[in-house]
Structure 1
Amino acid sequence: MRWTNEEEARLRQLWTTGKSLKVIGAELGRTADAAYRKGKAMGLGSKPFEGETSPTWMLLTRVCRDRRGRTVHEMAQATGTSRYTIDQLMRRKEKAGEAHVADWEKRPGAPIPYWLPFPGKSKPKPRALTNTERNRALRARIREEDPLRYKAMIDRATVNRSRRNGTVRKQHLVVRALFGLGRPA
């Protein structure tokens, strides 16, 4: 079936709308392939595509269909893409309003975001733990897991503090005698 001048004008108009070739072909009563070949023959250039072309992004939306946030590490493992690529993609999509941070994992150091590749409002980033808070958490964990290690750590800290202050406690008389720290005999 030959193309009429009206059909060519309509194809030229539809080509820049961002509609898919399938839709353009249907509006002209032709197949998508016929519309594509005629557009190329008319020199209309590449068909502008309004949508996501990144295979990584498409895979992420399928992986996260359950609406459970995932870290960059989990997403990289699921897609086989580098963590850097996933991180950059998610940040770019967040700025565009197509992704958001569902939650944050608080941990020693910087908090870790749990991303969702869907539009939504990002949770605000919690503040990072201070060194004091991290050390307190570490000591509490050691006290629970290994009481002997905790006691040794506290004893070491006490001796070091005494040395810094110049108030080292005198040893017991028996210990001093055993190690020759007492008066000469």
Structure 2
Amino acid sequence: MEAVIKIVRRKWTEPELDVIRDIWRSGIPVKACMHLLPGRTCGAVKEKARELELPKKSRKYSPTWEVLKHLMKDGKPLTALQASKLTGICAEQIRSLVSEHVNDGSAHIVDWVRATRRGHLQAYFLPIPGESKPKPQKLTPREMQQRYRDKFDPEDWHARQRKYVNRRYLKRGKLIRREPLLAAFFGSAG
């Protein structure tokens, strides 16, 4: 004798459908809200949402984002790398979340700072709505050279340039180096 297993499916009630719509509008994952629909599985809820032709569920809720909001409730902005070191969460995931939330207006970038003297720019962000500071444009090679030159005294810069040119001529064999004693006796002219 074979046992026949019958799957009995309960009909969805109107209050259950309202709960599904509420879950879908919130950013909270379906799995986290299953206690509101006892006797139903997560897959059944998602299938019913498709039948109801609800739009794709937004992924605004994230436990990582909640951790970041709690960490930064004092109003002090952090970079993704700093937040990563404090929370142990991957910096790339934090950057992705920040980008997502800045785009939808629930977070903003306070400032852009170079990671190192010539490194890439890092965003200091806050997980609260506000106006984001635009990312500065990259420096052109000429601007980078000028910024480097401005660090030196003009006389030092000229001495560095002469030293470089002399070294280049010496390598090519166009400059003959004289002994200082011979140059003192006979002069530096060849």
SS at match of 1:68: coil
C-alpha contact 1:103 1:114 (8 A) present in aligned 2: yes
Counterpart of 1:101 (choices 101, 109, 112) is 109
C-alpha contact 1:99 1:119 (8 A) present in aligned 2: yes
| In structure 2, distance between residues paired with 1:136 and 1:57 | 42
Corresponding letter in the other structure for 2:22: G
Corresponding letter in the other structure for 1:84: E
RMSD between superposed Cα atoms in Å: 4.6
Structure 2 unaligned residues grouped into runs of 5+? 1-11, 25-32, 50-56
| In structure 1, distance between residues paired with 2:91 and 2:34 | 38
SS at match of 2:137: coil
Counterpart of 1:16 (choices 15, 20, 45) is 20
Tell me by how many angstroms 1:77 deviates: 1.0
Superposition TM-score, scaled by structure 2 size: 0.57
Superposition TM-score, scaled by structure 1 size: 0.58
Counterpart of 2:122 (choices 95, 109, 112) is 112
- Check 1:91–1:173 CA distance in 2 against 1; reply closer, same or farther (3 A cut): closer
1:25 corresponding residue in structure 2? none
| In structure 1, distance between residues paired with 2:143 and 2:35 | 67
Tell me by how many angstroms 1:37 deviates: 1.8
Tell me by how many angstroms 1:96 deviates: 2.1
Q: 1:52-131 alignment to 2 at 5 Å?
A: 52-105=60-113, 108-131=118-141
| In structure 1, distance between residues paired with 2:180 and 2:17 | 102
- Check 1:69–1:45 CA distance in 2 against 1; reply closer, same or farther (3 A cut): same
| In structure 2, distance between residues paired with 1:123 and 1:18 | 35
Structure 1 unaligned residues grouped into runs of 5+? 1-7, 21-31
- Check 1:51–1:161 CA distance in 2 against 1; reply closer, same or farther (3 A cut): closer
Aligned residues: 156
- Percent identity reads 25
Tell me by how many angstroms 1:33 deviates: 9.1
